[in-house]
A and B are shown apart, each in its own frame.
Chain A
Amino acid sequence: MKLPRGRLDKSRVVTDPRDTLADVLDRELTGYAVFESQETLLLDGEGRGVITFTDGVPVLVYHTGTDRGGPPALADLAVPGPYHVSLYALDNADLESAHEAADLRVPPGMPAERLGGDPALADSTRRAAPDERLSAMGDGDAAAAEDGPAEQSAVEAFLDDAEKIEAIKDQARSEARERAQQWEF
């Protein structure tokens, strides 16, 4: 995925990617966010996740470490935080050609649901999404129809990555051991 660099809007460390998604939606940002987990052990080399937005609504997701796009890239991104997040603002026109990559697309509510774990934020995001984004994935009860099978593939892709899950567990165990001493249980 090729994107113009854009204007740096914010650069900070967040513990929960939900906060970034909520902030972008609030401010109706057009541009992209680069997520870099501080837990580099869990990522393959240069792994960074990129999410593009139009008016605050997510459009594409891509992961540089795994070279995957769309829902599987969200699974690649879902590692324990904190994350370093940089937000870049772009004009709509700058994103047009990138946004033609249909294989990198995600349903509008999926990042909030799967990365942020916040169904309410996902609902707000869907409400903010233009009709054609919702109808492109099916009509009717947008939430269920839109997010169903595609989102599930993100969870299942995550669960199929035994190595990453073992890494999450290992990290939690060593954290628990360290903190036991710190907390004087």
Chain B
Amino acid sequence: MVEVFAVASGKGGTGKTTSTVALGMALADRYDVTVVDADTGMANLLFHAGLSDAETTLHDVLADDAPVEAAAYDRFGLTVVPCGTSLDGFRDADPDRLRDVVATLAEDTDVILLDSPPALDSRTAVLPIVLADRIVVVLQPTIPAISDGLKVQEYATTYDTDVAGLLFNKVRESESIEQVSEKTERYFDGPTLAAVPESERAREARRAGRPLLAHAPECEAATAYRAAAESLTVRDGAAADAADRFQSAVIPESL
């Protein structure tokens, strides 16, 4: 089985990478999970997973200089495929090879999480959403984050990618998140998976280069991420045709 999720938000700063790694670690209790930094222009998964010294990254794979196995690292119970941060690496990378990367990884894992670029303004930014089976939309309870999240959803569903759910992040105590999430759900095709409180632990974890669930597994935010993962039912994809499915992922003919 394999299901590919793009963890997406229209805007930066919503804590998307923290959320990708946390969801991945929580899902790893039940599944074999691979996390890929698909934000090839502004990579930061490597800093969250203690991989800032990684020699081979997705950039090398996308430049056809290394096989994907060489850029896959076992960390914190996950397979992590980090991306490099150099401009040269970005320039030499062919984003279209991401299809093959996902297809290759799909042969040998249950869940793939694509940490997606916080934008919809280029082919590269949107490709992870096209490749994914479903998206997890990371939102803050703010007007710009919600309206950008709506746009992400409409792009996804236009390209035949479903919505797995919403993850409210960096929620402050003063914010009446129940009302906001209930009203937000009216406009989205998926349920609220969890509301993750704004967390000093998450900031500490980022500074320490460790995932939140490794740094402070018992904190409130970590508990919320586990609840989110718990409410995600991973769908059985057909393993046999996985490679084919992602290599030929296109938007529906009906457009």
Contact = CB atoms under 8 A, between A and B. Distances in A.
A74 B159 CA distance: 32
Given A78-B143, A80-B147, A185-B159, A177 B255 contact: yes
Contacts of A159: 146, 180, 183-184, 186-187
Interface in A92-116: 113-116
Contact of B142 (A114, A143, A160, A162): A114
Interface in B185-219: 186-187
Given A158-B146, A185-B130, A149 B174 contact: yes
Interface stretch (A22-30, A124-132, A164-172): A164-172
Contacts of B251: 180, 185
A57 interface: no
B235 interface: no
B245 interface: no
B179 interface: yes
B: contact size bracket: 35 or more
A148 interface: yes
Given A177-B255, A180-B158, A156 B126 contact: no
Interface string A125-153: 00000000000000000011101110110
Interface string B223-239: 00000000000000000
Contacts of B142: 113-114, 117, 155
Interface stretch (B24-32, B36-44, B73-81, B148-156): B148-156
A119 B183 CA distance: 22
A118 interface: yes
Contacts, number: 108
B105 to A, nearest CB: 20
Instruction: Give the interface SS of chain A, mostly helix, strand, loop or mixed.
Output: helix
A87 interface: no
Nearest to A120: B13
A1 interface: no
Interface residues of A, number: 41
B172 interface: yes
Given A114-B142, A159-B146, A160-B183, A173 B154 contact: yes
A90 B221 CA distance: 45
A69 to B, nearest CB: 16
Contacts of B97: none
Given A78-B144, A80-B147, A144-B172, A180 B159 contact: yes
B143 A158 contact: yes
A106 B84 CA distance: 42
A61 interface: no
Given A119-B170, A154-B143, A176 B150 contact: no
A32 to B, nearest CB: 21
B187 A156 contact: no
Given A159-B184, A179-B126, A114 B144 contact: yes
A152 to B, nearest CB: 5
B144 A144 contact: no
B184 A183 contact: no
A165 B251 CA distance: 24
A177 to B, nearest CB: 5
Report, nearest first, the 5 A-B pairs whose CB atoms are least far apart.
A148-B174, A117-B144, A172-B154, A159-B183, A176-B158
19 contacts: A78-B143, A78-B144, A80-B151, A113-B142, A117-B140, A117-B143, A117-B148, A119-B170, A152-B180, A155-B180, A156-B179, A159-B180, A159-B187, A160-B183, A162-B186, A165-B150, A169-B153, A169-B154, A175-B155
